[in-house]
Amino acid sequence: MNIPSNKHYWTEKEEKNVLDALARGQLSGDGYYTERVSALIEENFGAGKALMTTSGTHALEMAAMLIGLEPGDEVIMPSFTFSSTANAVLLNEGKPVFVEIKPEDLNVDPNDIERKITEKTKAIIPVHYAGVGCDMDRIMAIALKHNLRVIEDAAQGVNAKYRGRYLGTIADFGCYSFHGTKNYSCGEGGALLVNQEDTQIIKKAEVIRQKGTDRWLFLRGDVNKYNWIDTGSSYSPSDLLMAVLLAQLENMQEITEKRKAVYKVYRHAFEPYERQGILKIMQIPRECEPNYHIFWVIFNTQEMRDFVLKELNRQGVAASFHYLPLHSSPMGKKMGYKPCDLPVTEKAAKCLLRLPLYPGMTEAELHYAIQSLAAVIGAL
């Protein structure tokens, strides 16, 4: 049996919407479906303003542009994340400052954020790893105390909550991803959430998104032609993709429930191994309601993890690992970091195992994955 790490989950709605979008004939950005998706995100999640983007990466880039970094300004973020979080800052002449994560949920450690604040610190980018919220109360309090902007990298955190509030809506900006590997997906896509009343910021975001023009005023019918007014790029997605995404978001609860069912089976299956002291299972803080994006465990040693990973893969179960931490990557080394700078992050990267998790996973597939795991761990 072959079990992929991830698999899309379509209903009939995606196909129906795509055909409808084709029939409408307007496939460029900001059409019928784009408007419906952003309205759904604003209403459902309580976001200030949701601007749909071509990717989560682009949402992060827009947020980094909007906080007005000066060359050399420092932005604190975990090293345990995807390169996009750091690139957004580098592309805007800022300097990423990597901090440590907490071993129990692999989310950024607020104590290390405080330790690494300097006079040049401008912002914090917490990453909600695996769809589990960071300690936002502490992070927002630190930001308030030091007058810092906060951008939530909620690429994995769509439809998950922290103290009853949706991830991505808590800080100044939130960034979502709808990439093929994420819970709710249209292949490539994202959203920038602007959670501020400041109409100037929203206007600036619209201009950046529309190639530096006031095209959004034109689309609203306020002006009869649009002008180039500032620096910008092209971040609005095709309406065809938004047609797919609307169907996904309308099926959000069903997708989440199905993921949760798989997650619970894994948790139950791994508990005996945790009691034996071989590994630790991911923890979900009481104040967090996750979206079951990832199920992960951390083995005691890299040898164990590598053995289990290799054997599961050999049996067709696409277990995987990540991230290669940014601070110990070739780019991180160029920036002057050494692997030993962030030991918790290093350990996580070396000992973490992710299990296949997708909504359409059949009982037979799940059973096979767990049986394979039992056999492999038995051979440790």
Ligand X SMILES: *Cc1c(COP(=O)(O)O)cnc(C)c1O
Stretch that binds ligand X, among 79-87, 282-290, 296-304, 359-367 (CB under 6 A): 79-87
How would DSSP label each residue in 300-352?
SSHHHHHHHHHHHHHTTB--B-----STTSHHHHHTT--GGG-HHHHHHHHHE
Is residue 293 within the footprint of ligand X (CB under 6 A)?
Answer: no
Angle between helices 32-45 and 239-250 (to 10 degrees): 40
Residue 228 is classified by DSSP as B
Q: Which of 85, 251, 345, 372 binds ligand X (CB under 6 A)?
A: 85
Q: Is 365 in the site for ligand X (CB under 6 A)?
A: no
Among 52-60, 67-75, 95-103, 104-112, which window interacts with ligand X (CB under 6 A)? Answer: 52-60
Q: Is 251 in the site for ligand X (CB under 6 A)?
A: no
What the block records as the tokens of 65 is: 């542009």
Size of the site for ligand X (CB under 6 A): 14
Contact criterion met (CB below 8 Å) for 258 and 9? yes
Among 9, 45, 80, 82, binds ligand X (CB under 6 A): 82
Q: Which of residues 92-151 bind ligand X (CB under 6 A)?
A: 127
Instruction: Give the other-Cβ count within 10 Å of 172's Cβ.
Output: 22
Contact 353, 321 (CB under 8 A): yes
Pick from 14, 30, 152, 153 the residue near ligand X by CB under 6 A.
Answer: 153
Residue 234 forms beta bridges with which residues?
A: 210
- Closest contact distance (angstroms) between CB of 63 and ligand X is 11
Window 185-224: contact mask with ligand X (x via CB under 6 A): -----x----------------------------------
What's the one-letter identity of residue 167?
L
Residue 324 neighbours by CB under 8 Å, 6+ apart: 349
**For ligand X, the closer CB: 190 or 356:** 190
Residue nearest to ligand X (CB): 56
Q: Output the CA–CA distances (angstroms, integers) from residue 189 to 159, 181, 194, in the order listed.
A: 16, 11, 17
The residues that touch ligand X, with contacts defined as CB under 6 A, are: 55-57, 81-82, 84-85, 127, 153, 155-156, 177, 179, 190
